Amino acid sequence: MRASRPMNHGSCRLLCACLMVGLAGGATAQTPSSGGAPAGAPGSGIQKQHGDPGTRVQDDFFRHANGTWLKDTPIPADRSRIGSFETIADDTRAQLRTLIEDAAASGRDGPARRIGDLYASFMDEATLDKLGARPLATELARIDAVTEKRELLPLFARFTRIGIAGPVGIYIGQDARNTTRYVPMLTQGGLGLPDRDYYLKEDDAKFKDVRAKYQSHLARLLTLAGGQGADSDAAAILALEKELARVQWTRVENRDPVKRYNRTDVGALPAVAPQIDWPAFLAEAGLAGRTPDVIISQPSFFAGLGQLLDATPLATWKAYARARLLGAYAPFLGRDFVEERFGFAGTVLRGTPQNLPRWERGVAVVEESLGEEVGQLYVARHFPPTSKARMEQLVAHLMTAYRQSIDGLTWMGPETRREAQAKLAAFSLKIGYPRRWIDYASVAIRRDDLVGNVQRAREFDYAHDIAKLGQPIDREEWGMTPQTVNAYYSPTMNEIVFPAAILQPPFFTAAADDAVNFGGIGAVIGHEISHGFDDQGSQYDAKGNLRNWWTADDRARFAEKTRVLVEQYGRFEPVKGYPVNGRQTLGENIADNAGLAIAYKAWRLSLGGKEAPVIDGLTGEQRFYYGFAQIWRGKYREERMIEQVKAGVHSPPEFRANGTVRNQPGFHDTFGVQPGDAMYLPPEERVTIW
């Protein structure tokens, strides 16, 4: 479960490394000289061959920097999207495959044996085909044994322990009002489609088609497991999930940390939803006697869930439980289950024609189950200490720029500014990999028991988190593995974290001039720092506590700036009829804009008053912004883009590039963007927050 780990606020997911041809210099496009920097000097780090010289910077910076790549690069048949993050992730997966196969061939006991045996259990497709649904017999029997509705929530608590998402999510995290302690959090859940809109937008033709195919998918899963009356059960399950969706909070409502904080004594839980057998639920969840209270994230959902328990026949709930079990574990069963699950989750929902190669899926299973054990192997072979040292220098530059920027804010008063500086000074930094690794020695792995391996690994994760209750906060823990191509900020820990795998081109190029690195990984660093001061992170103080440290006037001015940003991004429409939700993506849009602005200031500070050299015909300013544009190189299948718009917190890549640079005065100055140009935004409409 690793549930206490922070939500992924990261900015990082796409990449590739080379040079671009025919990039613009100033107001008009030009072909830079081929010589570039003198011998031995850093290169530009710009992948020029991917740019489109026929598109002016001033009309569409994203396509100017990435247009040839966008035109010439197909999305692979086994992918729903492709881009910079995916390229790094693909390279990293290939490295992990070698590490895993080497471990399997080593014959050593301990971690190598666990890793090798788990991978072998997944790759033995012939055995899985013979077994069918038999590996799930124990859990299916558990469902069959339910005779009363009061037994349902304990059943779903059991499911949570083995990684099956039911109506109630269980997480262990820091108490947002007292971050010195851990507390259980109960959250809404239970949907098989990406977002409540997929159920409730009845006039949307695409969603109507998805619902019909989802019902067929449910029926097929139940049939494969030997169920009777699968068609009627599938219809009833879809109707139940629609009612669950109706009582769920929207993604925008869930962005309010104050409304989500509802501390409730364990003894008061029956008042929230009297239909739930809370003592039995807590016992099955491993929480009985471990905590005096819980945080209820969406109280009205739990009240609605209780009413649905009363109103929905037990047979429907049991069919729903079977479908949740089968959907979650289908990837670990025989070919029929795998193909059925992918046909819906991969093709219908995301438009992906074919599944990933089995070895890639096997690597993913090992990573999910024994992540830090694989991470140790990855770091030892692929993460040089020099990369960590360079990152520490970059972060120091970004922090200096942030301190100066806060001091210079004209819209913020001195009282709030002091609190902001105190919070910035309290930031902690993690780069590369944890100082203390998780010990998986107690996880039993067998070469002939894939489903059991996955269940035991997930139960280990769950127990690992439950064991934190009553213990001091573990400030050494990581929320991502070192081989993850991403980064994050945790508001309750007040920390920024950069796993080793993201420190690769185009985010970070060791042999490149500083300008492109500040535009790439520098903007990522700035992005993560900025999450501490976005519309959500700004509600947490230097100790990570949910506390209002703003004056009323300063908060009002901040809200006005963010309102403009909501309107800007709400005008973007990547698929006709599916605009970006400016409120849902607000935190990430703030972080993109503030992160790039701070990275630019940090880069200028790093020059010490000198001018950056011209390299490959590009000025330092140009290289900085091209460095930013190329990290967002990416394209999506339409179905995947719709899912991103409905269920994601990030704007699509095009708008993370164009939507961000339009707010930057330095971008307008560097490329001579003028009124009448598509990229032009009048100074009074540009949003500068931090």
Residues 653 and 633 sit within 8 Å (Cβ to Cβ): yes
Q: What is residue 41's predicted lDDT score, i.e. its pLDDT?
A: 57
In which residue are the tokens 């799930």 written? 136
Q: What's the CA gap between 303 and 518, in Å, rounded?
A: 49
Question: 136-355 adopts what CATH topology?
Answer: Neutral endopeptidase; domain 2 (1.10.1380)
> Radius of gyration (Cα) for the chain, nearest Å?
26
Distance CA 488, CA 254 (A): 19
378 sits in which H/E element: helix 371-382
680 pLDDT band, cuts 50/70/90, is very high
Task: Provide CB contacts within 8 A for 481, sequence distance 6+.
Answer: 367, 371, 372, 374, 375, 499
| Structure confidence at residue 30 (pLDDT) | 29
- For 159-198, write each residue's pLDDT tens digit: 999 999 999 999 999 999 999 999 999 999 999 999 999 9
Let me know the angle formed at the C-alpha of 189 by 183 and 192, rounded to the nearest 5 degrees: 150
Read off the pLDDT of residues 118-141 as tens digits, 9 standing for 90 and up.
999 999 999 999 999 999 999 999
Q: Write out pLDDT tens, residues 457-469.
A: 999 999 999 999 9
CB atoms within 10 A of CB 372: 22
Is the torsion defined by CA of 317, 319, 322, 326 positive or negative? negative
What are the tokens at 533?
A: 């001061």
Domain locations in the chain?
Answer: 136-355
d(CA 568, CA 580): 10
C-alpha to C-alpha distance for 524 and 496, rounded to whole angstroms: 11
Distance in angstroms (rounded) separating the CA atoms of residues 1 and 189 = 15
- Mean pLDDT estimate for the chain: 93
In Å, what is the CA distance from 619 to each residue of 227, 300, 505, 515? Answer: 67, 56, 20, 9
Residue range 214-265, pLDDT digits in tens: 999 999 999 999 989 999 999 999 999 999 999 999 999 999 999 999 999 9
Q: Cα separation of 225 and 240, whole Å?
A: 21
* Dihedral sign for Cα atoms in the order 201, 204, 207, 211: positive
State which amino acid sits at residue 498: F
pLDDT digits (tens, 9 = 90+) for 60-75: 999 999 999 999 999 9
- The pLDDT score that the predictor gives to residue 14 is 28
- Residue 311 CA to its chain's centroid (Å): 35
| pLDDT score at 387 | 85
Q: What is the dihedral of CA 369, 375, 381, 383, to 10 degrees?
A: 150
Q: What are phi and psi of 651, to 5 degrees?
A: -70, 155
Residues 490-504, mean pLDDT to the nearest whole number: 96
